[in-house]
Amino acid sequence: MPSGREGWLGRFRELANVCEEVDESLIKYHEKVRDAIFERRLIKVTYGDKELWFFRGKNHDYIIVPCIFCSCPDFQFNVLLRGTKQSCYHLLAQRLAVKRGAYMTLHIDSLEELNVIINEILHKNFSPHLRKLLFLRKL
């Protein structure tokens, strides 16, 4: 477990390095990354000139700050606290989705809507509102 400021900074530096090394070969070896890309589970939500990323899982949704943070338990426990992994697959999939252009984009006009999505994910690990907006977008 990282301790002190330098421990945490080192952990984030490692994550940035992993993020830079993501390439197409990853998709051959990591089934979850491949599925996430092909199923377009990565969502870029824009509000004005701001953007925030989300991962739409089968049962849970996660907030992603590219190359820095994912709200999934794997990232929090195994990447940040234990240091047993360099990244979660959600961050790797996000990086590769950007390189391939294989993500969904959702524009919202209300900061309140963005807050609803974030709060649902933080408190329920799932955002019905995000899924509703994505569904309506497809109609």
To the question of pTM greater than 0.85 for the whole model, the response is no
**Cα-to-chain-centroid distance, residue 109:** 21
pLDDT, tens digit, for every residue of 101-122?
999 999 999 999 999 999 999 9
Which of the two residues, 51 and 138, has the higher pLDDT score? 51
Nearest to 87 by CA among 12, 27, 37, 35: 12
What ranges do the domains of the chain cover?
4-138
**Cα-to-chain-centroid distance, residue 55:** 5
